[in-house]
Amino acid sequence: MTGVELALFWVAWLVAVGSPGPATLSIAGTSMNAGRRLGVIFACGILAGGAFWGIAAALGMSALMLANAWVFTVLRYAGAGYLFYLAMKSLRSAMTAKPSLMRAGYDGPAARVFTRGALIHLTNPKAILSWGAVYSITLPSGASVSQVFQMFAFLYAGSILTFIGYAFLFSTDRMVRSYARMRRGFEAVFAVFFGLASLKILTTRLAP
C-alpha cells in the first residue's frame, strides 16, 4: 500500500474503533461514573485485550482457531454471555432512579476495572479474525514477521489514541453533567448495544 492508502486506512481504522460498541460505550460509562483515572484504567484493559488478539493473529493463531472450531465456539459463547450480562446490568440501571447499579459494574479496585476492560476483548473471538483480515488487506503476500508487527503497531497506535481519548472526553464536567441529566437514556443505549453485540457474536460463523 502507498503512503496515502495507509493514511486513509488508518483513518478508517480510527472510525471503526471509535464507533459505538461494547468497548467505547464501556469506557464512556466508566469514565462518567467512576472518573478519569478508572476510565483510563478500563481503557488500558480493553487495549490489553486488543493487543492479545492482534499479536495472536500476527503469530498465525487465527488460522489455528479456524482449524479448531471448538476453541472459537467456547470463546464465542463466553463472549456472548458476558456481553449479555452487561446488557442486563445496564437495562436494570435504566429502569431505576438509582445510578448505583451501573456504578457497581464499573467502579471498584483498579485491578478489577482493568480486568473487566480486558474481558470485553478477550471474550470476543471475532477480534482475532478481524485482525487477521486487516493483515491480509494491508500486507503483501509473504510479508515478513517484522512487517506484520510494524502494521500491528501502526494500527494499535490508533486504538490507543481512540480509547484513551474516550476516557478523557467522557470524564469532563460537561459530559458528566449531560449523563446526569440523561442517565436512563445512556443506560438504555448501552443495554441495546451490548445486547446486539452479544447476538452478533453468538451468530458468528466460521469461514468455510
pTM, two decimal places: 0.70
For 89-121, give the DSSP string: HHHHHHTSS-THHHHHHH-S-HHHHHHHHHHHH
In this prediction, residues 187-201 reach a mean pLDDT of 73
pLDDT at 208 over 60: no
pLDDT at residue number 175: 79
Sequence-distant (6+) residues with CB within 8 A of 126 are 200, 201, 204
Closest among 154, 142, 160, 163 to 5, alpha carbons compared: 154
pLDDT digits (tens, 9 = 90+) for 15-49: 778 777 778 888 888 888 888 999 999 999 999 99
Report the pLDDT value the prediction gives residue 82, as an integer from 0 to 100.
64
| pLDDT given for residue 106 in this prediction | 64
Cα–Cα–Cα angle for 98, 104, 110, rounded to 5 degrees: 145
CA 180, CA 204: separation in Å to the nearest integer?
36
Task: Pick the closest to residue 49 from 149, 105, 117 (CA basis).
Answer: 117
DSSP letter, residue 166: H
User: What is the share, in percent, of the chain residues with pLDDT greater than 70?
Assistant: 70
Q: What is the pLDDT of residue 63?
A: 59
- Give pLDDT, residue 51: 92
pLDDT given at position 19: 74
The pLDDT value recorded for residue 104 is 36
* CA-to-CA dists, residue 98 to 86, 94, 102, angstroms: 17, 9, 9
CB atoms within 10 A of CB 28: 23
The reported pLDDT for the residue numbered 101 is: 36
Look at residue 136 and tell me whether its pLDDT is greater than 70: yes
Angle, CA 115 vertex, CA 133 and CA 159 arms, to 5°: 40
All cell numbers assigned to 184: 436512563
Say if residues 50 and 161 touch (Cβ distance below 8 Å).
Answer: no
